[in-house]
C-alpha cells in the first residue's frame, strides 16, 4: 500500500514556464515532507522541505506548498530551466520514533529549451 503517491510519471514543460509537480499522501501521521531531485547515475539530492506547521516554503526558484486537509503537496519551479530536467521524488516522514523517509515513485521532469 503506497503511502506517498506521485501520480504523474512524467511532465514536460517549456523553458521559462512554471513546473508543478504533485504528491499525495495517505498517512495522517506524516508531519514532514521533502523533495529530492535525481539525475541519471547519481543518488537523489535534497531540494527543499516543509514541516506540517507551515503551508508554504520557498527557496529561490523552488516553492513547496502543503495542503494538510487534502493530504497534498506540490513543488513549483519558476522559471523552469533545462538543467532542472531530472526525476523528482516526494518523501514524507513521521515524528515520534521513526525518521525514515517514505518515498513516492518519482516524476520525470523534462524542460525543453
Would the CA dihedral through 49, 109, 2, 102 be positive or negative? Answer: negative
Position among 30, 36, 86, 88 found at the interface with another protein (CB under 8 A): 36
Give 102's contacts (C-beta < 8 A, 6+ positions apart): 3, 4, 27, 30, 91, 92, 93
**From the list 21, 24, 106, 111, which residue makes contact with another protein (rule: CB under 8 A)?**
106
Contact of 76 with 95, CB cutoff 8 Å: no
Q: What x-and-dash track marks residues 42-81 binding another protein by CB under 8 A? A: xxxxx--x-x------------------------------
Using CB under 8 A, list all residues that contact another protein.
32, 34, 36, 41-46, 49, 51, 89, 91, 93, 95, 98-106
Amino acid at each position: 500500500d503506497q503511502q506517498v503517491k506521485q501520480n504523474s510519471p512524467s511532465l514536460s514543460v517549456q523553458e521559462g514556464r512554471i513546473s508543478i509537480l504533485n504528491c499525495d499522501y495517505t498517512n495522517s501521521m506524516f508531519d514532514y515532507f521533502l523533495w529530492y531531485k535525481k539525475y541519471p547515475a547519481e543518488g537523489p539530492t535534497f531540494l527543499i522541505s516543509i514541516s506540517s506547521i507551515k503551508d508554504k516554503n520557498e527557496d529561490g526558484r523552488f516553492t513547496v506548498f502543503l495542503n494538510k486537509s487534502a493530504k497534498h503537496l506540490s513543488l513549483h519551479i519558476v522559471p523552469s530551466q533545462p538543467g532542472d530536467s531530472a526525476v523528482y521524488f516526494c518523501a514524507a516522514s513521521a515524528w515520534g520514533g521513526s525518521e525514515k523517509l517514505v518515498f513516492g515513485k518519482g516524476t520525470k521532469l523534462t524542460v525543453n529549451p
